[in-house]
Structure 1
Amino acid sequence: MTAMVGLGLSLTVLPAGPADAAGATRVRCNDITGLVDAINQANTSGGAITLASHCTYTLTTADNADDGLPEITGNVTITGRDTTIRRDPNATEDFRILHVALGGTLGLKALTVSGGSLPDFAGGGIWNSGTLNLNRTTIKGNHAETSGGIHNTGGQLELVDSTVEHNTATLNGGGILNGRNQLLDRPGTLTMRGGSLRKNRALNDGGGGLENLRSTAHLNSVSVKGNTAPRGGGINQFAGTLRLTSTILRDNIAVTGGGLRNSFSTAALVRSQVTRNTAITAGGGIFNENSSALTLDASKVIRNAPDDCFPEGSVPGCPATPAVRS
């Protein structure tokens, strides 16, 4: 009896959002108030947040002007397991899901971020101006004027075994826009290892899968597949630096540069393949213009339509002759 009384007394002092043995704050399934409180606490003191497995957290209203959840200003990690954070499809407000502010750090593990909508602004799923690390995470079904999935402006963005799919931008950067922070004159840095950019759309400008603007991007062992845009169906790059290692650009569609459009930029493809992409006019595989430098190292540009590389001679080792698909 004494032991039971002692146990009962100890349970009464447990916090509503208890920390687990590793120090993470656990948030009950779809407890949005608890999630907001946990983020605010982590912003202040740093910390990890663990969400319920196999659960969907549905945001019905915005926390602030453009974001469904509080801005990330501290060092925050959110972990799930087959867990989704989404904007309610019936929400009357337009907002993205997450915003990492300058100086903030956010890590997402085993999560899906979906349904964000900002038709008149950028970053439908996530806006990052700080440091954003995605591990086994999916950014899916978000929409914005620019950067349907992720808007990385002068920040550090790393994706490991993660997927960016079925996002839409009215202008450019259907999946991801990696760009320079104009106020700080600081380029964005994108590193992606494993995972995929697939079936994203930029409706009226460039970069169905990825738009790399005046910034640096390195994709290693990534599948860039089934994306569409007027320019650079898979990847569109302007005044940037791009490196593709063991990466495949396949089944992307554009007016120019079905797989890759490279303009005023430097690109290197290492052990990579650009295949079965389609351009309506030219550069089915690669459209390399404005004195851009592009090198192929143990890489192949094959079976694209109506051609592999355009203009002729712009990509050493890649012909501009019409491709024949087998």
Structure 2
Amino acid sequence: MRFISRSGAMTAAVGTGLSLAVLPTGSASAAEDIHVGCNDIPGLVDAINQANANGGRITLAPRCTYTLTTPDNPDDGLPEITGDVTISGNGSTIRRDPNATESFRIFHVVSGGTLTLKSLTVSGGDINNMGGGALIEQGTLNLNDTAIKDNLATTGGGLYNTGGQLNLDRTAVERNTANGFGGGVVNDGNGTMTMKHGSLLKNRATVNNGGGLENILGTASLESVSVRGNTALNGGGIRNLNGSTLNLKSTTLKDNIAVRGGGLSNLGPNTTATLVDSLITHNTAITAGGGIDNQAGGQVTLTNTKVIDNEPDNCAPEGSVPGCTNPTTSSTIDPPSSQQLLPDDDIKDPE
């Protein structure tokens, strides 16, 4: 069942027998609060279409699973986001049915669209294209207390942002897989990504690069984020390349694995990575750059940051990262305080 809370103008007019002529112009197009019953997929589709047209806030049933068995359009489980749409999940999940015969992602935000998700899990997206959980094409996606998990795509297993704005707050991107690059997130095409108080956890780029995050020609800023347990060929935790800008503050890269650049791979001229009050530790590379692999003129700046106890080395090539030393000596960078680093167990999904 779907419940819609509208402006009181129409009810008052009808209830008192007034002429419709006294109604204020445009009242029928006012934004609505739309409540969608548990697993009411037609109601959810209708609610998104209404919110696209008029702007609106959609509220899901608490702790319910909404299962998409077929796509709304060839690539997307739900209608494309073209307007200003907010979905409050109340701890619920929107997922692609594991037994669905067609491949599709869950959300698609197009140019001019803004989607805000609150207290929601997005899972099971499966597409031979970009963004298993969501694709952002020059639009805006805001994720608050949300989990993007167990999605699959060719690139950007969890999320793919191209030329848009991706904002993650207290959000987990977890156990997503890309058959190409960007297991957790791809930030591409001059896109902007900001992430605070969340995690990139156990994502995989199975045959390419950027296990947790692939930042290509974009700007990505992470603060108080745990980047842990991700795997890729290059850049197990994060790969930053092609003139991109990466800013890490109070962020931990730990237990990531790659052939090169277990924690971070920084590649190419005018590609910069700035790490402040952060920690890169216990990452593993098969060949070199267990903590950081800085190649082809890339620039990495460490401020009050430790790069320690990575295998087989902390930084490669030797001397390419000022202040980073390899296992024969410890880092000369002053260690951050315990309050500045995320604890090991700060990787749980948001409640």
> How many Å separate the matches in 2 of 1:302 and 1:219?
20
Which of 304, 316, 324 aligns to 1:318? It is 324
User: Match for 2:246: what amino acid?
Assistant: L
> How many Å separate the matches in 1 of 2:165 and 2:183?
19
CA contact (8 A) 1:311 1:320 kept: no
For 1:139-150, list aligned pairs within 5 A.
Answer: 139-150=148-159
Q: CA RMSD in A?
A: 1.5
CA offsets per residue over residues 242-270 of structure 1, 9 Å max, x none?
Answer: 00000000000000000000001100000
Identify the residue that residue 255 of structure 1 maps to in structure 2. Answer: 259
Query: Helix, strand or coil: the match of 1:24?
Result: strand
CA offsets per residue over residues 267-293 of structure 1, 9 Å max, x none?
Answer: 000000000000000000000011111
For 1:45-124, list aligned pairs within 5 A.
Answer: 45-118=54-127, 120-124=128-132
User: Match for 1:17: what amino acid?
Assistant: F
Number of residue equivalences: 303
> How many Å separate the matches in 2 of 1:68 and 1:61?
7
1:226–1:20 Cα change, 3 Å: farther
CA contact (8 A) 2:309 2:327 kept: no
CA offsets per residue over residues 178-236 of structure 1, 9 Å max, x none?
Answer: 000xxxxxx00000011100000001111000000010000000000000000000001
Identify the residue that residue 206 of structure 2 maps to in structure 1. Answer: 203
User: Match for 1:262: what amino acid?
Assistant: N
- The CA deviation at 1:17 is 2.9
Identify the residue that residue 233 of structure 2 maps to in structure 1. Answer: 230
Which of 303, 321, 341 aligns to 1:297? It is 303
Query: Helix, strand or coil: the match of 1:148?
Result: coil
Which of 289, 292, 310 aligns to 1:283? It is 289
Structure 1 alignment gaps of length 5 or more: 1-14, 181-186
Identify the residue that residue 217 of structure 1 maps to in structure 2. Answer: 220
> How many Å separate the matches in 2 of 1:266 and 1:65?
38
User: Match for 2:115: what amino acid?
Assistant: L
CA contact (8 A) 1:151 1:176 kept: yes
CA contact (8 A) 1:48 1:78 kept: yes
User: Match for 1:188: what amino acid?
Assistant: G
Instruction: Please report the TM-score for the alignment, with normalisation by the length of structure 2.
Output: 0.84
1:104–1:66 Cα change, 3 Å: same
> How many Å separate the matches in 2 of 1:102 and 1:256?
36
Identify the residue that residue 349 of structure 2 maps to in structure 1. Answer: none
Structure 2 alignment gaps of length 5 or more: 8-30, 331-351
CA offsets per residue over residues 116-157 of structure 1, 9 Å max, x none?
Answer: 001x21111100120000000000000011100000001000
Confirm or deny that 1:127 pairs with 2:113: no
Query: Helix, strand or coil: the match of 1:18?
Result: strand
CA contact (8 A) 2:2 2:36 kept: no
> How many Å separate the matches in 2 of 1:214 and 1:16?
43
> How many Å separate the matches in 2 of 1:82 and 1:51?
9
> How many Å separate the matches in 1 of 2:6 and 2:247?
41
Query: Helix, strand or coil: the match of 2:47?
Result: helix
Identify the residue that residue 3 of structure 2 maps to in structure 1. Answer: 17
User: Match for 1:179: what amino acid?
Assistant: D
- The CA deviation at 1:321 is 4.2
Which of 247, 250, 261 aligns to 1:246? It is 250
- The CA deviation at 1:177 is 0.3
Query: Helix, strand or coil: the match of 1:41?
Result: helix
- The CA deviation at 1:16 is 4.5
> How many Å separate the matches in 1 of 2:65 and 2:119?
13
> How many Å separate the matches in 2 of 1:214 and 1:322?
35
CA contact (8 A) 1:20 1:26 kept: no
4+ runs deviating over 4 angstroms: 20-23, 321-324
Identify the residue that residue 313 of structure 2 maps to in structure 1. Answer: 307
Identity %, equivalent residues: 61
